[in-house]
């Protein structure tokens, strides 16, 4: 029997990698998130509205934004019978993770295409195509972004001069892509950023004629784009300043195994490198990347994946609290201004299980925060949002790929780690404080059980390690 001294609380994080398997319930697996490009391109979604078709309209509820959070909020209004109004967006919200997980593949790999990944199909829900909004009495408007907000009069003004009065305002503006400055070539032809389907279309057009692709950034975007570039059989190099991939989630050991997978597919890595500037060729397009130290890397297509910034600047001017990077909210997604809420990537919310304010850029949080906010607004729901951090990715998931890989991460990457397995075909990492495996992981992260360290270290396989972890759960959590 294990003693308490050898039992440590599984308090922070855990991850599991495995080959893609038909046994996974894919319809209910969350996917990675991207936000909306910028405030000047965000749009208004309004439910429960009555309208004057000339210049003014009034709505009980208005959503500003056009991404996943806005789409799931719209669905929740529909579920409560409160969607008879207008939804003004450039595109019907869609599951943006598809843009880097499936949209970039060559045509012979059967890439994802709209309407196949409209919100909310990614979570097993009804596909919210433009026709869906029309059927639900939500009228759609195109290319009429919000340009100003007056919180005293509770009005929004659009680019065309329309005035929209709201009762409750939900901000779902998401994030903007972090960009390289123009002065170092950040906007050269052939340099791409991915936040929406138009960006992905532009990149696909470049990949069709590319020879040498360079990806800047070793995070979500970078690694998923690199896997897509392999499908195009392109000379692909990934450059990033850190010394291993995905440092916020991966241990050096996990990162090394992930890098090895990509190297087996011909991808090259330049780690610990700082970029000085992007250089144009005689035709004005990107031709090379100059690194600190003077070396250069040739490139005719460059993808920048260095993170994102919450689209908060329009709201700082009206007094919303943005001191934590996003728009700060409480456990019901209420801001410091009565009647205004924020959800999704842009919201800085209380992460209850770790007792800190956090902002999460992930589609799972976009979905859940939208649903929680609208339910709290429309019903008697009063419980605090209790989110379990979750991230995942799928790479090399196209026809003809020799190995399709899916990984998931639950919790927080803090503490001592124990790694089980050799990624042949699975590997699991447990972060320890000094059923189905995918159903078990969130239970472990939430319950924070005491785990027998020696048994975990001596486990001969992922399955045995998961069994050790499962037996550490309280009886009610293990069921």
| pLDDT tens digits, 346-392 | 999 999 988 999 999 999 999 999 999 999 999 877 899 999 999 99
Residue 219, pLDDT score: 93
Residue 455, pLDDT score: 85
Residue 139, pLDDT score: 65
- State what percent of residues in the chain have pLDDT above 70: 82
Residue 257, pLDDT score: 92
SS percent in the chain: helix, strand, coil, step 5? 30, 30, 45
Per-residue pLDDT, averaged over 222-246, amounts to: 96
Position 84 pLDDT exceeds 80: no
Confidence of residue 478 (pLDDT cuts 50, 70, 90): low
Confidence of residue 179 (pLDDT cuts 50, 70, 90): very high
Class of residue 232 by CB neighbours under 10 A (exposed 0-12, middle 13-18, buried 19+): middle
Per-residue pLDDT, averaged over 447-459, amounts to: 85
Per-residue pLDDT, averaged over 309-334, amounts to: 89
| 443: phi then psi, degrees, rounded to nearest 5 | -65, -45
Confidence of residue 169 (pLDDT cuts 50, 70, 90): very high
Per-residue pLDDT, averaged over 273-296, amounts to: 96
Every domain range in the chain assigned CATH 3.50.50.60: 39-175+309-378, 179-306
Distance (Å, rounded) from C-alpha 352 to C-alpha 358?
10
Specify the CATH class of 179-306 in words. alpha beta
Average pLDDT, the chain: 83
Residue 326, pLDDT score: 94
Position 34 pLDDT exceeds 80: no
- State what percent of residues in the chain have pLDDT above 90: 49
Distance (Å, rounded) from C-alpha 283 to C-alpha 280?
8
Nearest to 170 by CA among 98, 56, 82, 53: 82
Position 436 pLDDT exceeds 70: no
Position 11 pLDDT exceeds 80: no
Distance (Å, rounded) from C-alpha 314 to C-alpha 293?
39
Domain 39-175+309-378: give its CATH code: 3.50.50.60
Contact yes or no for 291/275 (Cβ under 8 A):
yes
3-state class (DSSP) for residue 308? strand
Residue 437, pLDDT score: 64
Weakest-pLDDT range from 2-11, 172-181, 280-289: 2-11
């Amino acid at each position: 029997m294990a003693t308490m001294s050898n039992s440590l609380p599984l308090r922070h994080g855990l991850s599991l990698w495995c080959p893609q398997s038909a046994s996974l319930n894919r319809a209910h697996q969350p996917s990675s998130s991207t936000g909306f490009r910028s405030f000047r391109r965000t749009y208004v979604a309004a439910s429960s509205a009555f309208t004057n078709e000339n210049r003014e309209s009034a709505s009980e509820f208005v959503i500003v934004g056009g991404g996943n959070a806005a789409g799931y909020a719209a669905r929740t209004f529909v579920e409560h019978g409160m969607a008879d109004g207008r939804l003004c967006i450039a595109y019907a919200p869609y599951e943006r993770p598809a843009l880097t997980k499936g949209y970039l593949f060559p045509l012979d790999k059967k890439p994802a295409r709209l309407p196949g990944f409209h919100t909310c199909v990614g979570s097993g829900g009804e596909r919210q195509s433009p026709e869906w909004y029309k059927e639900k009495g939500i009228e759609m408007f195109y290319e009429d972004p919000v340009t100003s907000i007056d919180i005293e009069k509770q009005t929004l003004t659009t680019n065309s001069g329309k005035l929209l009065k709201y009762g409750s305002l939900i901000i779902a503006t998401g994030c903007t892509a972090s960009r390289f400055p123009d002065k170092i070539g950040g906007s050269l032809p052939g340099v791409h950023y991915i936040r929406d389907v138009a960006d992905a279309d532009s990149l696909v057009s470049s990949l069709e004629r590319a020879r040498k692709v360079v990806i800047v950034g070793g995070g979500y975007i970078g690694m998923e784009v690199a896997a897509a570039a392999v499908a195009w059989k392109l000379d692909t190099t990934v450059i990033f300043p850190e010394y291993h991939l995905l440092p916020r989630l991966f241990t050096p050991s996990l990162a090394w195994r992930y890098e090895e997978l990509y190297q087996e597919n011909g991808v090259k890595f330049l780690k610990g490198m700082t970029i000085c500037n992007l250089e144009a060729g005689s035709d004005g397009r990107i031709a090379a990347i100059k690194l600190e130290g003077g070396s250069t890397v040739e490139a005719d297509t460059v993808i920048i994946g260095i993170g994102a910034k919450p689209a908060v600047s329009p709201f700082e001017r009206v007094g919303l609290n943005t001191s934590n990077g996003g728009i700060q909210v409480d456990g019901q997604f209420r801001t410091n201004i009565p009647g205004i809420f924020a959800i999704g990537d842009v919201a800085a919310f209380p992460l209850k299980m770790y007792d800190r304010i956090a902002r999460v850029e992930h589609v799972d949080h976009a979905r859940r925060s939208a649903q929680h906010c609208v339910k709290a607004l429309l019903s008697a729901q009063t419980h605090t949002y209790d989110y379990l951090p979750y991230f995942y990715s799928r790479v090399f998931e196209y026809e003809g790929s020799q190995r399709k890989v899916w990984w998931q991460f639950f919790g927080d990457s803090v503490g001592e780690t124990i790694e089980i397995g050799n990624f042949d075909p699975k590997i699991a990492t447990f972060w320890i404080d000094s059923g189905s495996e995918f159903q078990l992981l969130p239970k472990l992260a939430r319950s924070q059980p005491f785990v027998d360290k020696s048994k975990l270290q001596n486990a001969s396989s992922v399955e045995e390690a998961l069994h050790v972890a499962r037996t550490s759960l309280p009886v009610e959590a293990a069921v």
